[in-house]
């Protein structure tokens, strides 16, 4: 039967291509026009007013807000121009095609079926490890405020991924307390991270011994604080995973650069404390290639240069186009960097502080175990090296020291470094990498030493979880007595109340601290003298809304004692009330 074709009813391939390009050009022009329009004052004021309505609060510091908006606009322009380059130019199209093909080739080489059992195994290990933390059901720091007020505000630290994912996880824009679901998600992400780390460092060979060697990744004393957060835990775990994923594509240069850039941006927009993990893994992998003569000097230098380029490009893009400028002023303790003339001396001081803090946190047993593992790392490097023994010794020493230093990431650049336990979990990744390397095809005594060290971390997780539960019981007991006395003296809650000292640690924690000093940095104290937001939020959990009007600090005043008990002394003149907590 004769078929009649109507050319006007169907565009040919060339016309479709031209139409697509035309739409891209039109949308790009519209996008650039919107970005340029934002520079005009009326548009900015309208957007500021709209943002305040959405956030339901006043945006302070208009100048800082405008700088942030300007950064977003410049970032948007860069993205539009790059997109046009990739879709409208022949070279860009070729680059995109090759990158897509390299990513497909890398993914096709991964046997995903061989990974699910190790992921389940590590999930069981991590779940057992934090069981005591889950059982303690402790509201940790930010959890106090989020559970009462339901706010997110991760954008204050430019953690936009947290903002978006939290809406999905909590099924609402207003957060509610849904534990242990976020912590279980964190465990799952940590399990994937451990398996991928073993897969990458072990040359795609996964064994249960190597998996157990990776335990410090999720159960180091520092990351236990991250797992204590009921709302933040999954995003902290995601920051680790995002630093490991790019190395699945390390055999293809274009795919590696692209995946590194995207993954590092995700890391920056989840939890920046993981920034050193990427560089740490680059150094260790290059050392393995050098020590085993798997790659030439040219190939190793090429890999180092590629990784350094991707890392710097991603962090600079985040810094200039995604970081909130007003947050740099409001939260200068965590964002302001050393001025250039003092950069070198500032970094040296931060290195000293980082090393000192770790030395103070760890007990003697942990220090001995870590020292032995480091010694085995050097001896294995020498014995299995295809290079000269002397060169292998010095290079392995250098690599180990450099890897340790890189574990703190770009926090060395901060003028006021953040040394809270949750900011130091890169040290746990460093231990995991060293442990995996040591147990891979080496002496049994080295394997036993690594597993013994990791067993100590595993046991400490139970001690820490039980300490949280004991502290919670002790705090509730002390708070119950205090609120009873305050409600009797001040039934209408009209007095200004200040506190001296804080609720002390429970006897259990004091006992643990003799062997594990870090416990006193992990377990928070309630009702500190400054009476910060977390303490007020803690009191709200007992339905006690304290008078928060502005009042001068009257703790030095000679107020009469109205009540003196075993646990606290209360001084008051009827208007001001000073609570002195006893230890």
Residue 49, both tokens: 């007013």
CA distance 407 to 432: 11
Residues 474, 287: Cα–Cα separation, whole Å? 50
Q: pLDDT, tens digit, for every residue of 159-175?
A: 999 999 999 999 988 99
- Give, as one character, the DSSP assignment of residue 198: H
Q: Is 176 exposed, middle or buried (0-12, 13-18, 19+ CB in 10 A)?
A: exposed
**Is pLDDT above 70 for 19?**
no
What pTM value is reported for the model?
A: 0.89
Short-list 424, 416, 293, 423, CA closest to 358: 424
Contact predicate 534/502, CB 8 Å: no
Cβ–Cβ < 8 Å for 552, 576: no
Contacts of 47 (CB under 8 A, 6+ apart): 38, 69
pLDDT at 319: 86
Give the model's pLDDT for residue 332.
40
Q: How many Å apart are CA 290 and CA 296, to the nearest integer?
A: 7
Tens digit of each residue's pLDDT (9 = 90 or more) over 381-414 = 999 888 899 999 999 999 999 999 999 998 998 8
Helix, strand, or coil here: 267? Answer: helix
> Which residues sit opposite 499 in a β-bridge?
579
Greatest mean pLDDT among 76-80, 394-398, 554-558 lies in 394-398
Q: How far is 173 from 167, CA to CA, in rounded Å?
A: 5
> Looking at residues 27-53, what average pLDDT do you find?
62
The percent helix, strand, coil of the chain (3-state, each to 5) is: 70, 5, 25
CA distance 23 to 18: 9
* Consecutive H or E run containing 500: strand 496-500
Alpha carbons 345 and 341: distance in angstroms, whole number:
9
Min mean pLDDT across 14-28, 152-166, 347-361, 453-467 is at: 14-28
Strand-strand pairing, 576-581 and 561-564:
unpaired
- 243, 236 Cβ separation under 8 angstroms: no
Instruction: Give kind and range of the element (H or E) at residue 571.
Output: strand 568-572
> Do 182 and 188 touch, CB atoms closer than 8 A?
no
Q: Provide the residue count of the chain.
A: 583
- Beta strands per DSSP E along 95-210: none
At 234-269, the pLDDT tens digits run 999 999 999 999 999 999 999 999 999 999 999 999
Exposure string for 320-354, b = 16+ CB within 10 A, e = fewer: ebbbbbbbbeeeeebbebbeeeeeeebbeebeeeb
């Amino acid at each position: 039967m004769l078929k009649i074709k109507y050319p006007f009813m169907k565009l040919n391939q060339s016309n479709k291509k031209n139409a697509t390009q035309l739409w891209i050009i039109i949308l790009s022009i519209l996008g650039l026009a919107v970005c340029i329009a934002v520079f005009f004052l009326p548009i900015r004021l309208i957007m500021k007013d709209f943002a305040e309505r959405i956030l339901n609060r006043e945006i302070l510091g208009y100048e800082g807000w405008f700088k942030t908006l300007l950064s977003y606009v410049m970032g948007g322009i860069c993205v539009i121009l790059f997109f046009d380059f990739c879709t409208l130019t022949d070279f860009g199209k070729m680059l995109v095609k090759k990158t897509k093909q390299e990513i497909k080739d890398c993914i096709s080489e991964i046997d995903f079926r061989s990974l699910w059992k190790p992921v389940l195994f590590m999930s069981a290990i991590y779940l057992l490890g934090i069981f005591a933390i889950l059982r303690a059901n402790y509201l940790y720091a930010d959890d106090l405020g989020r559970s009462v007020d339901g706010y997110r505000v991760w954008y204050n630290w430019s953690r936009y991924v947290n903002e978006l994912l939290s809406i999905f996880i909590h099924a609402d824009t207003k957060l509610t307390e849904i534990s242990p679901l976020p912590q279980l998600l964190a465990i799952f992400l940590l399990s994937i991270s451990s398996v991928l780390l073993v897969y990458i460092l072990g040359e795609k060979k996964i064994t249960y011994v190597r998996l157990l060697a990776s335990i410090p990744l999720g159960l180091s004393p520092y990351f236990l604080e991250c797992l204590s957060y009921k709302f933040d835990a999954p995003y902290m775990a995601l920051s680790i995973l995002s630093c490991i994923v790019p190395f699945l594509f390390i055999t293809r240069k274009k795919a590696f650069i692209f995946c590194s850039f995207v993954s590092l941006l995700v890391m920056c927009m989840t939890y920046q404390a993981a920034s050193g993990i990427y560089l740490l893994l680059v150094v260790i992998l290059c050392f393995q290639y050098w020590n085993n003569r798997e790659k030439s000097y040219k190939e190793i230098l090429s890999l180092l240069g590629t990784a350094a380029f991707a890392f710097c490009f991603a962090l600079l893009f985040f810094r200039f186009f995604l970081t909130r400028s007003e947050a740099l002023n409001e939260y200068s303790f965590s964002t302001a960097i050393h001025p250039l003339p003092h950069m070198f001396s500032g970094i040296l001081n931060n290195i000293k502080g980082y090393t000192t803090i770790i030395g103070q946190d760890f007990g003697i047993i942990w220090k001995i175990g870590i020292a032995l593992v480091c010694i085995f790392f050097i001896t294995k490097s020498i014995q299995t090296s295809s290079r000269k023994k002397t060169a292998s010794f010095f290079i392995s020493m250098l690599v180990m020291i450099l890897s340790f230093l890189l574990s703190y990431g770009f926090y060395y650049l901060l003028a006021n470094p953040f040394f809270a336990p949750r900011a130091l979990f890169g040290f746990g990744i460093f231990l995991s990498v060293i442990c995996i390397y040591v147990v891979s095809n080496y002496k049994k005594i080295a394997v036993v030493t690594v597993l013994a060290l990791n067993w100590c971390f595993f046991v400490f997780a139970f001690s820490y979880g039980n300490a949280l539960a004991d502290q919670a019981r002790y705090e509730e007991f002390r708070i119950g007595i205090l609120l009873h006395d305050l409600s009797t003296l001040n039934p209408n809650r009209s007095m200004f109340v200040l506190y001296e000292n804080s609720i002390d640690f429970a006897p259990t924690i004091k006992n643990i601290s003799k062997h594990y000093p870090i416990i006193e940095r992990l377990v928070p104290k309630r009702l500190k003298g400054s009476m910060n937001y977390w303490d007020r939020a803690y009191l709200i959990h007992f339905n006690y809304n304290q008078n928060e009007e502005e009042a001068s600090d009257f703790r030095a005043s000679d107020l009469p004692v109205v009540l003196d008990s075993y646990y606290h002394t209360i001084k008051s003149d009827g208007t001001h009330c000073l609570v002195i907590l006893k230890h």
